[in-house]
Structure 1
Amino acid sequence: MASIARACRIRNPAVFVCDMQEKFAKAIYEFPKLVSTSSKLLRATNTLNIPIYVTTQNRSKLGTVVPELQQHLTGPNIRADIDKTRFSMITPELDALLPSPAKGENPIDAILVGIETHICITQTTLDLLERGHRVYVLVDGVSSINAEERGIALARLRDAGAIVTTSESILFEILQDASHTHFREVTGLVKETKEETKEALEKLSRI
């Protein structure tokens, strides 16, 4: 396994949206708040032209990505939209699209949102870390059917080497400087969604 530098700034971001499907909407703890966080992240991601990788779990039975997110998943920065039966997003097809740190290629900084924290998010994180990538799990962007699973999974992932952080923190870390070309657009989005962000954190940061 490649050595992973945990104490460093984000450098090569990519967003991973895991299984945000219609059939899960009523089952997942605080699912609407995951949608609002993911929507904010994707809007910023499209502005910043950051790669996006999307998966669904058994789409024919569990439905497509929820409409609120589909509208943000049509741009040129969509690198993968893959249906799977594997729990991890890192299927052979998606893995082939990622750089290989083992071959000297720059690792990505994978930003994860979606479900379920203790299953697909956990296994995706571990697979990415094993391949030498850095992983940022957004506490206001992941959940499970049972709320109690979240804290246990996030503690495990932090111990494994992932960074557990928030959507607002990651956006400003990507910007780095108020002189960034897209500073006004991203900060405008942050202001526009501040109430949704506050509500998501009030529920989902309790881990």
Structure 2
Amino acid sequence: MSTRTVFLLCDLQTKFRSAIYQYNHVVQTTNKMLKIAKLFEISVLATTQNARALGPIDPDVGLPSLGNLHRQTLDKTLFSMSTPEVQQILRDLHTRTVVLMGIESHICILQTAFELKKDFQVYVVADAVSSCNSFEIPIAFDAMRHAGVQVLTSESIGFLLMRDASLPAFKELARIIKESKESTKAAGEALFPKSSM
């Protein structure tokens, strides 16, 4: 995975809490990924979908913990996060790889992945993505894989970024993985019962 990576968080707004399948697990995994972003000094861009009607990013999402690594939260009406503003920031950051998290798998995440695949290597964090209807998730992931998008777990992405256990940051990554072990297992079992992925 490229060192010029940006994490993109799509529309994880409180208004969707009651509608999204296993929403709390998505928030927990997102917060794990934000810790990983902080460890590796990875920039994070977030979007909201029509914030005037649907409200801000859920305050349970730890964006404030990132400080300057949280580059911006941009509002959009497009389903895709690939707005002109997001594209410009990605260019300014000399991005090679994007990592997608958020909702919904078959709409905003799918369209973002398809759009960004033209210019970047795209990864989707399987355990940090959901939809209103659970059956939409594996279908969306399958379509993304066929388009050349890598659909991986939060732990896989953390270790791809780490690459070498001899590096100083490995101890902290191991701590993050260990402290989130139970929530990671619960998210996997809830979002993907009987390995539906």
**TM-score if structure 1 supplies the norm length?**
0.88
8 Å CA contact 2:38–2:66 kept in 1: the answer is: no
For residue 178 of structure 1, what is the aligned residue in structure 2?
Answer: 165
1:54-93: CA deviation from partner (whole Å, max 9, x where unpaired): 0001112111111111454551112231011111111111
Higher helix share: 2
Gaps of 5+ in 1: 1-8
8 Å CA contact 1:57–1:85 kept in 2: the answer is: yes
- Write the distance in 2 (CA, Å) between the matches of 1:67 and 1:106: 29
Overall identity of the aligned pairs, in %? 40
- Write the distance in 2 (CA, Å) between the matches of 1:72 and 1:59: 18
Code of the aligned partner of 2:14: E
Deviation at 1:204, TM superposition (A): 2.1
1:135-175: CA deviation from partner (whole Å, max 9, x where unpaired): 11111111100111111111000000100100001001101
8 Å CA contact 2:63–2:70 kept in 1: the answer is: no
Taking a change above 3 Å as real, the CA distance of residues 128 and 73 of structure 1, as seen in their structure-2 partners, is: farther
- Return the match for 1:120 from 108, 118, 127: 108
Taking a change above 3 Å as real, the CA distance of residues 120 and 71 of structure 1, as seen in their structure-2 partners, is: closer
- Write the distance in 2 (CA, Å) between the matches of 1:46 and 1:193: 16
**TM-score if structure 2 supplies the norm length?**
0.92
For residue 198 of structure 1, what is the aligned residue in structure 2?
Answer: 185
1:25-80: CA deviation from partner (whole Å, max 9, x where unpaired): 01000000000100000012112210111000111211111111145455111223
- Write the distance in 2 (CA, Å) between the matches of 1:197 and 1:12: 26
- Write the distance in 2 (CA, Å) between the matches of 1:38 and 1:22: 14
Q: CA RMSD of the aligned region, Å? A: 1.7
For residue 58 of structure 1, what is the aligned residue in structure 2?
Answer: 50
For residue 3 of structure 1, what is the aligned residue in structure 2?
Answer: none
* Number of residue pairs the alignment of both structures matches: 194
